[in-house]
């Protein structure tokens, strides 16, 4: 019997998507899991914590964007991750220092809707 293909899930913001499309030639770096809703597993099943569950990431970001939460830890983490990724890409020679600076400016100016999924 043929094994079904592995399906992987992830959640990424619109801002991260646009930056990857614009600066990284459409190459996207994402963390994936074979479980969409980590709440459906127990710790014995090797559960997925809320910080890594695509559904819970989506729900948190959706609510933070809807309520225009200026102190959202999830949005702050996404900003930090995008900037850290830009630095890594520059250090690997994939983008220039000017491009890294442009990414930082875009991230710093991003509004709540930019963190939609």
pTM assigned to the model: 0.87
Per residue in 51-92, pLDDT tens? 889 999 999 999 999 999 999 999 999 999 999 999 999 999
pLDDT for res 45: 67
Q: Is the pLDDT of residue 104 over 90?
A: yes
Which of 28, 29, 27, 35 is CA-nearest to residue 7?
A: 35
């Amino acid at each position: 019997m043929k094994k079904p293909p592995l399906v992987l899930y992830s959640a990424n913001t619109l801002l991260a998507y646009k930056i990857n499309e614009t600066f990284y030639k459409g190459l996207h770096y994402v963390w994936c899991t074979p479980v969409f809703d980590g709440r459906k597993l127990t710790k014995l099943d090797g559960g997925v914590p809320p910080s890594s569950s695509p559904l819970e990431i989506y729900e948190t970001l959706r609510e933070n964007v809807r309520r225009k939460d200026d102190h959202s830890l999830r949005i702050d983490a996404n900003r930090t991750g995008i900037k850290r990724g830009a630095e890594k890409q520059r250090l690997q020679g994939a983008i220039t220092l000017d491009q890294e600076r442009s990414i930082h400016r875009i991230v710093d100016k991003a509004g709540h809707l930019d963190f939609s999924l």
